Structure 1
Amino acid sequence: MRIGIFVLAARFPGQESGRVLADAVDLIVAAEKAGFDDAWIAEHHFMSYGVCPSATTLAAVAAGRTSRIGLGTAVSVLSTQHPVALAEQAAMLHHLSGGRFTLGVGRGGPWVDLEVFGTGLERFERGFAESLDVLLDALSGGAVAADGDFFRFREVRMVPQARLRPVVACTSGPTVALAAERGLPMLLGMHIGDAEKAAMVDAYGGAAHGGAGGGHVAAGVAHVADSTAQAVRELRESMPAWLGPGLAGYVPVDDRARPARDIQKYVDMLTRIHPVGSAAHCAETLLRTAEATGIDRFIVMMEGIGEHQRILENIRRFGAEVLPLLSG
């Protein structure tokens, strides 16, 4: 089993974004010391839910502060940037980190980012497969050219070159099928439970057509305390202050309605299905998910408690008390 932290750079009320970003790098350094295998970084724009607008930039800083831990993006949003430019950044990180970098990409959402960055709603709704294919060509270790609906350019040779296999965030059947057809691992979000994850893994297997498959990653929330009741209580008290204004930051680019969540019910669901509890409970939860889904790679968001020193202690304690229970 491979366990990493999922870094959102979550900004709680009263916190300053620049400080949150600096603290996020400290979390990755602490995770390496605590024995975690990976640290994957999220990209968000114009919101307090996560204040890191460039996961690749933060990964580059973290690469210079660490020596062992794997680094990834969860995810770099493909709908708002050029896939060749993203491939160039990924290739740089691959070489500069000594091969520790994994590129995770996703479609993103119908948010105002599409307007601000000029890619438009069509790129989000129809262009993801084409964007992904251009990205894959650019990460094939050679040249890339395009003659599609969204990208048209003459052949160029990638400098630097790298052969990388991205991970694709999947939240719908068509994206699962796309990842399967390309033989790319899935990244499954923290908003779904074991049954839904297992169904998506099964759907992937049915659509893979002999592709590489495997290597899927599941995201979750983690918090360890002396008892499960205490861990749940602490997150129920702290997370709504972040999630309320944070999720409100998702602003649609058009007139479509934005999905609404009951924040307290959402927190209750997250603490129920993810490793939140005593060390034994956290380990049992991860093992149960692995057995139910066949997934053995996890990234866990540990910032739910809100205060930097308490997050660092959560990481240290998870490493000391939970990870040994998963190593047998």
Structure 2
Amino acid sequence: MPVQPYLPTRFGVFLAPYHRPDRDPALQLRRDLDLVAALDRLGYEEVWVGEHHSAGYEIIASPEVFLAAAAERTGRIRLGTGVNSLPYHQPLILADRICQLDQQSRGRAMLGAGPGQLPSDAFMMGVDPLRSREMMSDSLDAIVRLLRGETVTAATDWFALEEARLQLGPYRGGELEVAVASAVSPTGAVLAGRHGVGMLSLAAADPAGFAALDTNWAAYERSCAEAGRTADRSGWRLVTPVHLAETREQALREAEFGAADLVAYIETLGGTRLDGCDTAAGAVERWTTEGLPTFGRAVIGSPEDAVEGIAQLAARSGGFGTFLILQLDIAEPAATLRSLELFAERVVPRLTGATDARRASLEWAGRNSERFVSAVRRSTLEAIARKGEVR
């Protein structure tokens, strides 16, 4: 019999964030910090925060600064940079900052590594987008070694290290967890496997990214094997937009709040119009069927719809360790919080089996109810016959 793919056992949120540019940024950032505190309270295992420098929507320039503030508002949730754009940083300085965050958060920091998403960011820094993956590889080679406590001497045409070492290592004394961004091409998967680090599939919701999940994992396995390592699915994270409500119809209505704005963002960056998105309802319809560029297909519906969607990801990929909600301004803040509560209350237990024993206990009690009720009835009748005497 074929091996059944296992479902994720950890859950978190990927927060770019995307915020419309006609609102107060200080309030938006404060709301994001409140959101991380809520995630911690609801039991989410991790949150990842992005790095961007242009285009007005993704307004966190330094995920480390944001996550340091989040660390002071939380107690257990792990804090990942999702992702640091490696071509924009000197490797020693970035590794040093991540270790400081790990010390300040008492071992909760994670490093997400990527080449940089927005061409406008690279343009302003004079980074050739055609070289960004090569530069990411150069940088990651050095960063992984530094985080493992090595002394590194290396030179490229864009950075140099001379007997570089970290004065602060990871908080727990071992290796700090690293994950490499992977989309449709196998580049990220190959790089992650070479270094024995995790893989962060940001395009899992995109039809092309979804179709490439199994081939990307195969590339990761081959790369791990070539480096003498065993691939571990528990280190694989998949990202998908999700908004839930009590019913699918309610969730679709709530999503009209933010869908049109995200379409406007995509159209502005791409310089083109998206078919079928002239109305908010039309934008939601396209988002949940054909999908939107950048954001892929969203799961907008009931908790049962989310369980089904994650099961489909597991079947396509063969199994993965962590599911991350791509958190967007899909709905009003109150509805967004309720969506996250529904996911934690009703989706996570279904996938992890946390409520299986309770359901089994209830079913067992139901199957034996006649026997139990009869015993209580006999006990009552005997007590009456004894005229309430206590023995």
TM > 0.5 between the two? yes
TM-score range (shorter-chain normalised) is 0.7 to 0.9
Structure 1 spans left out of the alignment, 5+ residues:
251-257
Indicate how the Cα distance of structure 1 residues 34 and 75 shifts in structure 2: closer, same or farther if over 3 A, else same.
same
Given that 1:78 and 1:105 are in contact with CA atoms closer than 8 Å, whether structure 2 keeps it comes out as yes
1:211 aligns with 2:223: no
What corresponds to 1:318 in structure 2? 343
Q: 1:254 maps to which residue?
A: none
CA distance in 2, matches of 1:84, 1:68: 27
Counterpart among 242, 260, 266 of residue 240 in structure 1: 260
Q: Distance in 2 between matches of 1:204 and 1:295?
A: 13
For the 8 Å contact 2:245–2:338, the answer to whether it is kept is: no
Task: Name the residue aligned to 1:295.
Answer: 320
Q: How far is 1:26 from its partner?
A: 0.8
Offset of residue 36 of structure 1: 1.2
d(CA) in 1 for partners of 2:261, 2:120? 23
User: Please, which moves more after superposition, 312-321 or 98-107?
Assistant: 312-321
Asked if structure 1 preserves the Cα contact closer than 8 Å seen for 2:256 and 2:330, the reply is no
* 1:120 shift after superposition: 4.7
**Which secondary structure state, in structure 2, belongs to the residue aligned with residue 75 of structure 1?**
strand
Stretch moving more, 112-121 or 213-222: 112-121
Shift in alpha-carbon separation, 1:122–1:9, aligned structure 2, 3 A: closer
Among 167, 171, 193, the residue aligned to 2:179 = 167
Q: Which residue of 1 aligns with 2:372?
A: none
Aligned match of 2:190: 177
2:85 matched residue in structure 1: 77
Q: Which amino acid in structure 2 is aligned with residue 283 of structure 1? A: V
CA contact (8 A) 2:116 2:132 kept: yes
Instruction: Report deviation, 1:56.
Output: 1.5
Q: Confirm whether residue 281 of structure 1 aligns to residue 305 of structure 2.
A: yes
Letter paired with 2:164? V
Give the equivalent residue in structure 1 for 2:95: 87
Amino acid at match of 1:206: R
Are 1:302 and 1:315, in contact at CA under 8 Å, matched by a contact in 2? no
| 1:1-328 matched pairs, under 5 angstroms | 1-12=9-20, 14-109=22-117, 111-121=119-129, 123-124=131-132, 126-162=134-170, 163-171=175-183, 172-190=185-203, 191-193=205-207, 194-209=210-225, 210-214=228-232, 215-236=235-256, 238-245=258-265, 248-249=268-269, 264=283, 265-266=286-287, 268-270=289-291, 273-293=297-317, 294-328=319-353
Q: Is the 8 A contact 2:78 2:109 kept in 1?
A: yes
Residues 48 and 249 in structure 1, CA contact (< 8 A), matched pair in contact too: no
Whose relative contact order is higher, 1 or 2, with alpha carbons under 8 Å and at least 6 apart? 1
- Judge which range, 123-132 or 213-222, deviates more: 123-132
Question: In the TM superposition, what is the alpha-carbon distance from 1:174 to its structure 2 partner?
Answer: 2.6
- Amino-acid identity (%): 27
Q: Distance in 2 between matches of 1:207 and 1:130?
A: 17
Deviations 1:293-328 (Å, cap 9, x if unpaired)? 111211102333243232222222322222222220
How many residue pairs get matched? 321
Which residue identity is paired with 2:100? Answer: M
In structure 2, the gaps of 5 or more residues are: 1-8, 278-282, 354-391
Distance 1:276 1:298, change over 3 A: same
Structure 1 window deviating more from structure 2 (241-250 vs 140-149): it is: 241-250
Q: Name the SS of the counterpart of 1:222 in structure 2.
A: strand
Q: Deviations over 1:109-167 (max 9, x none)?
A: 46132243354546525322111111112211242221233322311321112332410
What SS does structure 2 have at the residue aligned with 1:36? coil
TM-score by structure 2 length?
0.74
Secondary structure at the aligned position of 1:127 is classed as: helix
SS in 2 for 1:135: helix
RMSD in angstroms over aligned alpha carbons?
2.6
